[in-house]
Amino acid sequence: MNEYFSDLFSGAKSLLVGLSVTIREMFKPVVTVQYPREKLEITPNFRGHTELVKDPETGTHKCISCMMCQKECPSDCIRVKGEKREGVKGLALVSYSLDFTKCSLCGTCVEVCPTAALEYSQEYELAGYSSDEFRFDLLKRLEER
């Protein structure tokens, strides 16, 4: 019988305490942001898909078409095409295609690149109507930048 009443009182008290928590929180400021209107700043370290680095000196990429990234990529989503050209040491890059639909964002390609020619993009709002939109040609993207 004793338990019956103690249960009742302690229970009722805990319920009131719970209510006080929610009412307190109710008057605290909102913590979310209205996404498309307000945006949070994302960290510069964010790992998006990869992008060729623009060399400030030459104004172009630093890739020497060594194929390291293509070989090391665990998801097999990089295709590097280079060709011999007059006056260029090594191979000149013709196209660098990244199949972002397969990329697992592991960062291996960025880490293995001997010339640090790759970086992560800050793009996080990727959406499209077909998977083709995510098969990037990074060289073209670089030129458009």
Give the residue carrying structure tokens 């805990």.
Answer: 14
Shortest separation between residue 74's beta carbon and another protein, angstroms: 3
Of the candidate residues 51, 64, 136, 142, the single one contacting ligand SF4 (CB under 6 A): 64
Structure tokens of 116? 């640090």
Q: What is the DSSP string of 53-121?
A: PPPTTTSS-------HHHHH-TT--EEEEEE--TT-SS-EEEEEEEETTT-----HHHHH-TT--EEE-
Burial of 17-35, coded b for 16+ CB within 10 Å and e otherwise, reads: eeeeeeeeeeeeeeeeeee
Residues that bind another protein (CB under 8 A): 4, 7-8, 10-12, 14-15, 17-23, 25-32, 34, 42-43, 45-47, 72, 74-75, 104-108, 111, 120
Of the candidate residues 6, 10, 14, 104, the single one contacting ligand SF4 (CB under 6 A): 104
Q: From 16-24, 31-39, 62-70, 125-133, give the range in contact with ligand SF4 by CB under 6 A.
A: 62-70
Structure tokens of 14? 């805990």
Answer with the entry of ligand SF4, another protein, none that 137 interacts with (C-beta below 5 to 8 A by kind): none
Is residue 50 close enough to count as binding ligand SF4 by CB under 6 A? yes
Residues at the interface with ligand SF4 (CB under 6 A): 50, 63-69, 73-75, 77-78, 80, 98, 103-109, 112-113, 115, 117-118
